[in-house]
Amino acid sequence: MPSTDATLSSELLDEEQELKQDIDSSRQTTERYTVLADYLERIHEEYQNKEWPRTMCSKCVTSRHVYCHDCALLVIPEEDWPDSVRNHTLQTCLPFQLDILLDDRRSASSGVQMAALFHHAAAEPADDATNSQHQQPSPVVRFVELDRGQSIPDYGEDEDSIKTVLLYPGPGSIPLSSLLEGKAADTTLRLVALDCKWRNSVRRAEKLSSLTMVHLDNPPSQSHYWRWHNAGPGCLSTAEAVFWAAWQLVSGDGMSAASNCSSRREDNEQRLLDIMWLFAVQRSIILRRFHAEVRERVIPHLPFTDEAKEIARGYRRKQNHVRQQN
């Protein structure tokens, strides 16, 4: 009997320890998700009274507000950029090389916003602002414009020291954290992120079919993006998915394996938040316009709320039904 009691006591202790670990993990996950929400709110408070005039893009000479989605360039005055972009340190926070493959409507693309920030952050200071805006971005981040005829890189030709994975939570994908198991210290991780509609055929392209698919270990259940979709709950924008992938590696055990991180974790986390800066600014503008245009609202909810997205889905279903009837 004593051995039975000891066994029972051990099992209860193990269960208690597992429960404590689950509670701690849940608490950490909740705290992690509030980091981005707090940053978005902070940017809104900082810029809610800021009025930027439309400005000519230095490349395409088109009038733009905040940034040019065609050229992936900022048109906001440089003094308003985050320090990590002005100081050319934004790209040093990434724990991986990043390829953004764009095959979507540019004005609705969060990947373009991220590409614009990295373009300016990677450009070396020049004698004049025009020349600095046209310098080539750092090889840490590549923006592949499939919508303009560029080809998907041939990842089969990567060096052995580069491990390339596709960030896509599909059947057969593995947790992002599993990449760190047995990872050689001299191996560089390259993350490929698709910026396209969920059902776009580019994700089935032959050059991507051989890549290991990875997903976030604990993705947030809700997106802060204002664009709706029919893919179900838990789907994120490209920018959010890249941010959370980087955050998971930098703030967790992946820090020691992050070859491109060059400073303390706290500094990296702040720079990581800055990769969402243009996303946050655009969201703040949408929020401000929503409250300013009360009489003109078609949907009585903020665009990035579940209620607004469901109403938009209903409109689309109704439109499709009318088309089918005709």
Give the per-residue SS3 of the chain.
Answer: CHHHHHHHHHHHHHHHHHHHHHHHHHHHHHHHHHHHHHHHHHHHHHHCCCCCCCEECCCCCCEECCEECCCCEECCCHHHCCHHHHCCCHHHHCCCEEEEEEECCHHHCHHHHHHHHHHHHHCCCCCCHHHHHCCCCCCCEEEEEHHHCCCCCCHHHCCCCEEEEEECCCCCCEEHHHHHCCCCCCCEEEEEEEEECCCCHHHHCHHHHCCEEEECCCCCCCCCCCCCCCCCCCCCCHHHHHHHHHHHHHHCHHHHHCCCCCCCHHHHHHHHHHCCHHHHHHHHHHHHHHHHCHHHCCCCCCCCCHHHHHHHHHHHHHHHHHHHHC
Average pLDDT, the chain: 78
Which of the listed ranges 57-71, 103-117, 185-199 does the model predict with the highest average pLDDT? 57-71
Mean pLDDT, residues 14-42: 67
Q: What is the mean pLDDT of residues 144-168?
A: 88
Model confidence band, residue 274 (pLDDT cutoffs 50, 70, 90):
very high
Residue 259's pLDDT is: 41
Could you tell me the pLDDT band of residue 145, with boundaries at 50, 70 and 90?
very high
| Winning range, highest mean pLDDT, from 31-35, 98-102, 132-136, 228-232 | 98-102
Q: What is the pLDDT of residue 221?
A: 78
Answer whether residue 59 shows pLDDT above 90: yes
**Cα 138 → chain centroid:** 18
CA torsion sign for 198, 44, 58, 270 is negative
Q: Of all residues in the chain, what percent carry a pLDDT higher than 70?
A: 65
pLDDT beyond 70 at 305: no
pTM: 0.78
